[in-house]
Every structure is written in structure tokens, then in C-alpha cells.
Structure 1
């Protein structure tokens, strides 16, 4: 008996004929001609060296061997269909898992809604969210994350960035600071102040220590903070000032701090970042994040 030539087309033809017990109805269901279907079944029986159907001009019935084969054949056909569907769903980005990097404090008002809408729209995608502190401002987009929500600048080449929101930069000051009563200040009012910085080095840290305004002079960094909480605690303790985003003032404000807008510093941004050659699911996430951001105005 030679079985190596069995293919899914033969199994599917057998299952449909077995379910319909009619070559006419089975041919219609399979969108093939009746003679072609009859030939497929004969070839399948010859391949197995087993008679699967008893048939005459009026009736079609399964043999004992056909009945025994039907259960497993149906399982195989359904399994192949599931396999094809799974592959197609992964290719369309509607099934699988998605690793999302999230920089602490970035888009804190947006992320819950983005994740909620994405979970409803793509229920077969498992979301794995990893939060990164200020020591890792790239939020893993350069280290295996499929997509990330963060704050530019990154200083990375080939990373695709889409701005979700922009907002003013603010100075974070202790309530006893000389400028704490102001609603707006200039960046030049802050350059001589001791400043709280993110750990490490690079363009991201330099952005938030306002190095672009210092004419090559280094910032007077007195403390490093890897989270919003440690940053604000250091400022409240009057160790120095910090520069942050307006949303930080909204979501992390507490007694003892003031957040005047820095009037002459450009708006900062929250962005969704994609690596080179992103997955379809990552692309879907980025598009949905932009959609949610636009709906929020």
C-alpha cells in the first residue's frame, strides 16, 4: 500500500462526499464537476487500496473502512484549515503576541485607552507591556520590543517615529523657589540652576537638561533620577530643579511643587516608535495609537 501521495484535496473530497452521501451535492459544495470528483475519490481509494464507498446509480454509502477513516480525516481537514487560518491571521497581525515598550511618564493619559481599544479590536493578540525608566529612554525599541511609546529625541537611526501628542515643557520647582509663583518662565531663567538629570548620557538626557541652550557649558547636575517619583522627590527636597512635560504636572503633581511653563522652549512630544521592518501587528498598534490620539484632539 502506497500512502505517501495522499494530499489534503483528496481528504477534503472524501470528507465532503461522506457528509453528503451524494456525489452531485458534494461536487456542488466543492465547486468541481462530478466526474472530476468521482475520479479524485477513485484515485484516493486506489492509493489506500481500500474501498471507502459503496455506490450504485441511486445510493452512496460508507463502507466500514470509510466510516473508520471519516473521523480522523475530518480532524485532519479541520486541522489544516485551522493551520492555514492561523498563519493568515498572524500575517494580518490579528493573532499572536505584541511586545510593547513604554517609557515611564510618556503618554500616561493615552496608554490605557490605546491598550483598551487595541485589546477590543484585536482580541487574539496577547499584549505584553514592559515599562522602562529614564535610564532606558529608548523603551526597548532598539532591544527587541515590537513597538514602543516614548519621548523623542532618541538618537537612533532607522527607527520610525510617529508623533501622538505634543505639549509644553515645564520647569519643576520646589514651592519655595524664587520662580515658583510664576505661570511662565524663560529657559534662560533656569540655566544657572542645579538640575536633576536622567541617568546615563546621550541626546535624551541632554534634551531634558537643556544642553542646547548652554553654549557648550555643562549643566550643573546635582542628582540623577530614573523615575518620575524620584525626580519629583528630589525637587521637592530642594536638591535642584528639573525640566519635564506638562502632563507630568497634571498626573504627578503634589504639594510642595510648582510647574511653570517654559515659554521659549519648543513643545515636547510623545511618539510611537517602530523598529526597522516592523511586524503587521506592530504597525496596527501604531496606527491605532495615532487614531486614539487624534480622537483625543
Structure 2
């Protein structure tokens, strides 16, 4: 075999001529001039060391060597084209796996519909789901364990975060049924600040948000830490302190011994889908579908 780099263009030119057995039609299919096509075939024959076509002024036919080489050339092109298609689909977020984290209690009503809609649109993307408690409010994004997460902002420790807000809801005080607040139609932020409070573990912006740190001039009186709603509600029920929770908790985690009282003057809390800028394209696709599903269901929906 002569020393020459055989390129895909040589193989595509050969296969086009072999399939049409006509240089003129093959050149038209390849959008090149016929002399250029003839030159390409001669280069390939020189590199291979044998004739691919038997040509006369009236006909073109594959030689026996050419017939055998056609099988190999077509296989190479098929494998290359399949690899390129697969790579393109992966780049477009249509193939592979997507690691999804979700914070307990975040968009619970919408998660099944979001997952179904994503699976319908991207059936070749495998979703790996991981639930996180209040000790990991970033949903695995800060540790790199997930590609995208359904969380409740604010987050810290997630550089280059791309955030899509899905819905919002008001915040309420979760208090013991025996607490004086339990009989009130609402409480103020100032009233909440004066009370002992149950907090999430850790030291981060998320914990600060839920203990109303931005409203305080002195540190909160934290009497207990809880990493789940169940642990939090148990602490509240036995009178260790109150907690601040999203209004949906009253519906999703209703139980005896606690009451939920709207907090007047506190901004709504949010649920968002978050991914990093360098996440796989499938993460952005997931965020787009999550936004559509929640919008179709009526969110975002701020409360007064």
C-alpha cells in the first residue's frame, strides 16, 4: 500500500461511485466536480494498491477487489456516522444519564409530572434521582454529586449557578398546638423573632433564610436542629420552639400537635431548579421542562 492518508472523503467518494456506478451522478450527489471526484478515486486506488473500478468510455463497474473493499468502506462510514450521531445527541442532552437531586418538600406536587414529561421527551436519558435533607440544601450541586437539583433558594457554595424559579409560596410559622400563636389568624415577623426557633443543621445561607437572620439584629435563639420535616415537626410539637416553613408543608406534612400560622411581612419563599453553567445540556433541558410543567399547572403563584 502506498504511503497516503486515506480520509473519509475518499471513502465517501468511493461508496458514492460504487452505489451509482456512474461518476457523473456520484459527483452531483457529492456536490463536487467530476474531475475532482476522479482524482479522489485515483488517490484511493494508489493508496490501496489495486483498482477499484473497471472503466470504459461507456460504463463503470466495480472490480472484484472493489466489491470486497466496498463492504469494509461502508462499515467504516456506518460506524463513524453512528458515532457522530451519538455524540451529537449527547451534546444536545438527548442521550446519557442525568443526576437529579431534590430537596425534601420541594415541588412535591410537580415532581412526578416533571419526571414523566422529561422521560417522554428524552427517553434515552437515564435519570438518577437522589433525595437530600436540610443538611444538604444544595441538592448535591455543591459537591458535584448531581447535575441539576430541585431546591429552595437561597443557595451558596454553587458557583456559576443557573437558577430557574418554578413557583413561590408564602411562609408560615409552625408552632405547637399549645403555643399562644396557634390561636392567631397571623403573626408578624417581629413576633416570630422573639421566639425560640428550630433550625436546620449547618452554617449557610439556606439555614440563615429559614431562621430569619436577615431580619435580626441579634442571634437567633436556636433550641434544636432538625434535618427533616418529620424531625422538625416533632421538635415543634413537644414545644422546643417554632419553625418557619413553606405553606405547602401544612398540606403535605399535616399532623396532630402543630399549627401553621401565616407570617405577615415576610417575603414569599421559592422553589427552583438549579444547575451549573458547565452541567450537561440535559440539565438545561430538564430545567426547561420543569418550568413548562409547573407553569401549565399554575405556577409560579405568589401569595399576598
| TM-score strictly above 0.5 | yes
List aligned pairs for 1:124-273, cutoff 5 A. 124-144=124-144, 145-156=146-157, 158-216=160-218, 218-273=219-274
Work out the number of aligned pairs and report it.
296
**Contact 1:3–1:48 (Cα < 8 Å) also in 2:** no
- Contact 1:172 1:235 (8 Å CA) reproduced: yes
Q: What's the C-alpha RMSD, in Å, of the aligned pairs?
A: 2.3
CA distance in 2, matches of 1:54, 1:236: 91
C-alpha distance in 2 between matches for 1:255 and 1:53: 87
TM-score, structure 2 as length reference: 0.87
Q: Deviations over 1:152-200 (max 9, x none)?
A: 1223464333322111001122333332243422233333433221111
Q: Tell me the secondary structure at the aligned position of residue 114 of structure 2.
A: helix
Distance in 1 between the 2:140 and 2:3 partners?
50
Equivalent residue number for residue 62 of structure 1: 62
Secondary structure in structure 1 of the residue aligned to 2:29: helix
- Could you state the TM-score of these two structures normalised by the residue count of structure 1? 0.89
Q: Deviations over 1:51-87 (max 9, x none)?
A: 1222333433322222222222111101111222223
Q: Which moved more, 1:135-144 or 1:181-190?
A: 181-190
What SS is found at the alignment partner of 1:190?
Answer: helix
Residue 201 of structure 1 deviates from its aligned partner by: 1.5
Superposition deviation, residue 276 in structure 1: 4.2
Q: Distance in 2 between matches of 1:196 and 1:21?
A: 81
The answer on whether the counterparts of 1:22 and 1:60 sit within 8 Å (CA) in structure 2 is yes
Q: CA deviation at 1:110?
A: 2.5
* Residues 26-35 or 8-17, more deviating: 26-35
Query: Are 1:174 and 1:236, in contact at CA under 8 Å, matched by a contact in 2?
Result: yes
Give, in whole Å, the separation in 2 of the partners of 1:3 and 1:79: 24
Per-residue Cα deviation, 1:198-256 (whole angstroms, up to 9, x for no partner): 1111221121122333321x323222111122222332344332211012222222333
CA distance in 2, matches of 1:292, 1:187: 33
What does residue range 267-286 of structure 1 map to in structure 2 within 5 Å? 267-286=268-287
Aligned-residue offset at 1:124: 3.0
Alignment of 1:56-135 (within 5 A): 56-135=56-135
Instruction: Name the CA distance, whole Å, in 2 between partners of 1:14 and 1:92.
Output: 31
Taking the aligned partners of 1:170 and 1:118, their CA distance within structure 2 comes to: 32
CA-CA distance at 1:291 after TM superposition:
2.6
Structure 1 unaligned blocks of 5 or more: none
Q: Distance in 2 between matches of 1:181 and 1:66?
A: 91
Structure 2 residue ranges without an equivalent (≥5): 299-304
Asked if the contact 1:142/1:275 (under 8 Å) is kept, the reply is: no
